[in-house]
Chains A and B, each alone.
Chain A
Amino acid sequence: MYPEHKKISIQRNALEANEIIAKSNKSKFELNKIFVVNMLSSPGSGKTSILEHIIPILKNKNIKACVIEGDVETDLDKKRIDALNIPSYQIITKGTCHLDARMIDKSLLNIDLNNLDILFIENVGNLVCPTSFNLGEDFKAVVLSITEGDDKPLKYPAAFYKSEIMIINKIDLLKVLDSNIEKIKENALSINNNLKIFKVSCKTNEGVNGLTDYFIKQVFIKQQR
């Protein structure tokens, strides 16, 4: 090394700026006892469909839900959520492949946090980039549809490593596909042994009640803290 070079010790989180805003978001959620889920998946795995199925059940139980939709383009998913008559907010990233804490912070200006029990953040469909950015959520939920192949957890380990739950969607297609659901589970658990796994079908409603009950339980736990 040439003597004129300066060595400067840093020893800091590379995403410190995002972490500071994520902590501020989390404080707002804690203050209002809102349970927050950051939903990750590939495009087309069924995040919005799952929300369309669980939100009416939450509404019937007087649990107030809101959705922040993250998409590269269009508000098509927001329109589907709006049809459920709950508050929603659209973030259009215009090419950015993930949501970050600053985007969530800005969107919270448009959401009545005093009147909310659970907030779903539907991240941009992408199994890589959204995993790096803490938004201030309670946990990440990764959605995997069985059409994606049982090796997905091994190919995209970060999303499975960082999630609390995995929702295997489109299980009604098992009868016509060669997908091996036990292999999906085995591969996911090899990345994260603590992953809770739910199997659902938005076509037949199989597993939807169990998944919704899990979210309801998390809301009650949060409110009793």
Chain B
Amino acid sequence: MHELSIALGILEMLEKNNYLKDIKIVKTINLTIGNYSGIDKNYLEFAFQNLGDNRFKIVILDCNYNETDDIKVNEIIAD
């Protein structure tokens, strides 16, 4: 279940680049997931909700798919 590592990687990227400053709760993450990335959207959503980080406890993933191996975070919607 590498989706947990992907979720942790996204969290690290968001933290390092200061996107989570003053954010209390992340409601939606919009992602582009390539069909060759080996990612299952439902597992990734479950991984975020169970990271132990309350900001992601109810997060919903909104995914676009393409014919690549990309895993890209496009946008977050947060309070």
Residues of A whose CB lies within 8 Å of any CB of B are: 1, 4-18, 96-98, 100, 128-133, 156-159, 161-162
Contact = CB atoms under 8 A, between A and B. Distances in A.
Given A4-B79, A97-B1, A132-B2, A11 B13 contact: no
B6 A158 contact: no
Interface of B is mostly: mixed
Interface residues of B, number: 31
Interface in B24-45: 27, 31, 35-39
Contacts, number: 96
A5 B5 CA distance: 27
A54 to B, nearest CB: 27
Given A11-B74, A12-B73, 17 more contacts: A7-B75, A8-B76, A10-B73, A11-B75, A12-B72, A13-B70, A13-B73, A14-B73, A15-B71, A18-B9, A129-B1, A130-B2, A131-B36, A132-B6, A156-B38, A157-B35, A159-B38
Contacts of B58: none
